[in-house]
């Protein structure tokens, strides 16, 4: 069966520090991968998605970036965090969008 | 821009009653429709998907789709306190991503 791993679960980082969040999927090949952010009391904001290794589509211009170095690995990064980057970051995967996404457990990031 | 609209709530429903959650979407080309449940502090979990007009039942949950009216709903029968959560309506717009509504907070009153 397929599983998705996301870490860390919580993270407190100072303003201006770098960020690296990792997501891996097991038990499948060539999944579509997604990074979402959910700010407190707000909806899910799609940040990046990838349909294959090295293929990244950005939905929102900001100080975040994403990479997909391996088929089942998706990384969200920032060189310098802003206070506004605080939120709940969710990775998701799908083989066929007709069946929806499966989300990871999420990373709660607090920038202080 | 493709949109999915939901009433943010909170929707308060007595235990044992029927909870009715509604959603409208803007893209007439949408093919697949989903309901996710999100408990506070947790990630969303897919609970229902529907693809054709009409009703789809799964246990206490019934999803309803009306493509002509661009309307999706979720009924929860015999509501339980454990159903208290935020319910996200989502739509597949056939462009490699799913569009989510902002969610409706449901509170089941014991």
What's the pLDDT score for residue B106?
98
C-beta of residue A40 within 8 angstroms of C-beta of residue A108: no
What's the pLDDT score for residue A112?
97
B32 vs A90, A98, A103: nearest CB: A98
Q: Cβ of B24: how many Cβ atoms within 10 Å?
A: 17
Rounded Cα distance, A42 and A49, in Å = 20
Distance from CA of A88 to the nearest CA of B (A): 9
**Cβ contact B101–A106 (<8 Å):** no
C-beta of residue A50 within 8 angstroms of C-beta of residue A66: yes
What's the pLDDT score for residue A97?
83
What's the pLDDT score for residue A61?
64
What's the pLDDT score for residue B77?
98
Average pLDDT score over residue span A77-91: 96
- pLDDT averaged per 10 residues in sequence order, chain B, 110 residues: 89 98 93 96 96 96 97 98 97 84 96
- DSSP secondary structure, A49-91, as one string: EEEETTEEEESS-SSEEEEEEETTEEEEEESS--GGG-EEEEE
Distance from CA of A8 to the nearest CA of B (A): 14
Query: B43 contacts in A (CB within 8 Å)?
Result: 90, 103-106
Write out pLDDT tens, residues A7-58. 999 999 999 999 999 999 999 999 999 999 998 778 899 999 999 999 999 9
Query: B96 contacts in A (CB within 8 Å)?
Result: 32, 49, 51, 57, 97
Write out pLDDT tens, residues B35-51. 999 999 999 999 999 99
Distance from CA of A104 to the nearest CA of B (A): 7
From chain B, which residues contact A within 8 Å (Cβ)?
Answer: 31-32, 34, 36, 41-46, 49, 51, 88, 90, 92, 94, 96-98, 100-103
What's the pLDDT score for residue A19?
97
Nearest residue on chain A to B6, alpha-carbon basis: A43
**Cβ contact B44–A46 (<8 Å):** no
Please give the DSSP secondary-structure letter assigned to residue B9: -
What's the pLDDT score for residue B97?
85
**Cβ contact B44–A43 (<8 Å):** no
What's the pLDDT score for residue B78?
98
């Amino acid at each position: 069966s397929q599983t998705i791993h996301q870490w860390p679960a919580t993270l407190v980082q100072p303003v201006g520090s770098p960020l690296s969040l990792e997501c891996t999927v097991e038990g499948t090949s060539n999944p579509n991968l997604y990074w979402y952010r959910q700010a407190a009391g707000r909806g899910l904001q799609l940040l990046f998605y990838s349909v294959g290794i090295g293929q990244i589509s950005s939905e929102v211009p900001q100080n975040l970036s994403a990479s997909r170095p391996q088929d089942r690995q998706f990384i969200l990064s920032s060189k310098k965090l802003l206070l506004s980057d605080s939120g709940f970051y969710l990775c998701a995967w799908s083989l066929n969008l007709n069946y929806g996404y499966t989300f990871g457990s999420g990373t709660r990031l607090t920038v202080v | 821009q493709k949109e999915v609209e939901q009433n943010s709530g909170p929707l308060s429903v007595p235990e044992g009653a029927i909870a009715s959650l509604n959603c409208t979407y803007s893209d007439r080309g949408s093919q697949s429709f989903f309901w996710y449940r999100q408990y506070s502090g947790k990630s969303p979990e897919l609970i229902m998907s529907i693809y054709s007009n009409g009703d789809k039942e799964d246990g206490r949950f019934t999803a309803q789709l009306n493509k002509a009216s661009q309307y999706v709903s979720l009924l929860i029968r015999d509501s339980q306190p454990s159903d208290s959560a935020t319910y996200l309506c989502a739509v597949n717009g056939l462009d490699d991503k799913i569009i989510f509504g902002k969610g409706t907070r449901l509170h089941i009153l014991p």
